[in-house]
Amino acid sequence: MKKKWLLILITLFYSLFAGEQIARLHYNGGGDWYNDPDAIPNFCNFLNNNLSANLLLQEAVVTPSSSDIFQYPFIFVTGHGDIKFNEKERKNILDYLSRGGFIYVDDDGLGYKETDKTIAYTVTGKKKVTYKRRIMSNKANSK
């Protein structure tokens, strides 16, 4: 859990001092994209208090097909149910990610592995998604 927050904090580091705003993704598919309305303000409050950041507490809302998505370095996705992108939305999301945008997906208890593969499929459109994970070894550090 601590590693996840550390990764998020490092990713946000470049935007912490500029009064940036985190955006929530308003997606289609039947999921409640608006779930947990306190998540973003609480997260921003934590970063502001503990890292002297200057993130805005009020979230923005963007859709996957909008060019507005490129105004936000960090996109928050949450909810129960399906997330579905049409081809235009899929291309826009991939373009956003390839330009350095970051998307954080809170699976809301649906199960990390299943949600991870579903999101990867939803964005890439590929039926088979290959994951490569790097694991630090104590052996490498002890030499």
**Per-residue confidence (pLDDT) for residue 82, from 0 to 100:** 76
Contact call for residues 85 and 106 (beta carbons, < 8 A):
no
Phi, psi of 91 (to 5 degrees): -65, -40
Tens of pLDDT along 41-94?
A: 998 999 889 887 888 999 999 999 999 999 998 999 988 777 888 889 988 998
Least Cα distance to 125 among 86, 92, 97, 98 occurs for 86
CA distance linking residue 67 with residue 69, whole number of Å: 5
Q: What is the DSSP letter of 110?
A: S
* Burial of 96 from C-beta contacts in 10 A (0-12 / 13-18 / 19+): buried
* Burial of 54 from C-beta contacts in 10 A (0-12 / 13-18 / 19+): middle
**Per-residue confidence (pLDDT) for residue 97, from 0 to 100:** 87
**Per-residue confidence (pLDDT) for residue 47, from 0 to 100:** 85
Compute how many other C-beta atoms are within 10 angstroms of the C-beta atom of residue 90: 17
